[in-house]
Structure 1
Amino acid sequence: MKLDHIDFNILRELQQDGRLSNNDLAQKVGLSPSPCWRRVKRLEEEGIIDQYVALLDPEKIGLPIVAYCQVMLEKHQLDQSDQFDRMIGERAEVLEYYSMSGDYDFLLKVISRSIKEYEEFQTQFLMRLPVVRSVSTSFVLKQKKHTTRLPLRFVNQQKD
């Protein structure tokens, strides 16, 4: 799907405030409401707009501990990786999960109520998985930047 500057403007505005009414969005991007609504629907149908969410403040709801753990599997076999995927996918405290290049196989972003709760996740669950060889954890001390907005200005500057 080819995106034009109006599509990028719509995406910028919705990344800033996903609760904008169609009328307000149309006004901000210089369209009338009907064409704006059609463009948003097309962006949704094409999967460019993946979902709309409410972003919560983890500390205010009692989840102040953020840990990044690097996991190395015992063997690099597809069935072990699939098993690990299934087990990690079921864990609500794992917010993000990436297959990585480098020294470790996976990177997990884990949130918890306390260091003790994280320690239980690691020792009682993660380290007990037969496919796991090692885990290395780093705790976030202070969040310096957090955004969910993609840098559309870089994408928009690409040449045809």
Structure 2
Amino acid sequence: MAKLDSIDFNILRELQENGRLSNHDLAKRVGLSPSPCWRRAKRLEDEGIIDHYAAILNAEKAGFHLIAFAHVMLEKHQMEMLEQFDEAICQRPEVLEYYSMSGDYDFLMKVTTRNIKEYEDFQTGFLMRLPVVRSVSTSFVLKQKKHTTRLPLRLLESPEK
């Protein structure tokens, strides 16, 4: 990773807050003129520190009222089966996040659907039909207490500040 200075961190903070800022507004907020600001933001993109830009939707207002965390245990751990499982899961739009885990389960998925019936269809009609799946344990979110996509950049800065 490239060495980031305080201006880079400020650019990243501002873009995490509002990815639609114009370069002119971003430059004003971080104390640069537009050209150097654009070059720095472009470098952060080119180096992959800024992965992509997206609109963050309100799931509830968009009609997705159910969030579930599915803990999946596999029957077999053969590479070919794992690759097929990965491909199948990554193609499912209701799977928002998908992690390989240590501990009691092999995988953890964050899944959103409009209702419990859609989740049941996902679990019993798709997930449990995959030949490699041994078991699925699901936890349903009762109330979301915090949701953010912003990284805690202050933790990466040098202690000199």
Compute the displacement of 1:126 (Å). Answer: 0.4
Compute the displacement of 1:157 (Å). Answer: 2.6
Structure 2 letter corresponding to 1:78: M
- Tell me the distance in 2 between the aligned counterparts of 1:61 and 1:15: 22
Aligned pair in 2 of structure 1 residues 158, 73: CA closer, same or farther (>3 Å)? Answer: farther
1:4-153 aligned at under 5 Å gives the runs: 4-153=5-154
- TM-score, normalising length from structure 1? 0.97
* Unpaired segments ≥5 residues, structure 1: none
Query: Deviations 1:122-160 (Å, cap 9, x if unpaired)?
Result: 00100011000000000000000000000001111368x
Compute the displacement of 1:16 (Å). Answer: 0.6
Structure 1 letter corresponding to 2:87: R
- Tell me the distance in 2 between the aligned counterparts of 1:158 and 1:142: 36
- TM-score, normalising length from structure 2? 0.96
SS of the aligned residue for 2:126 comes to: helix
Structure 2 letter corresponding to 1:4: D
Compute the displacement of 1:90 (Å). Answer: 0.8
Structure 2 letter corresponding to 1:123: T
Percent sequence identity is: 72
- Tell me the distance in 1 between the aligned counterparts of 2:134 and 2:159: 43
SS of the aligned residue for 1:135 comes to: strand
Compute the displacement of 1:102 (Å). Answer: 0.3
Q: Compute the RMSD of aligned alpha carbons.
A: 1.1
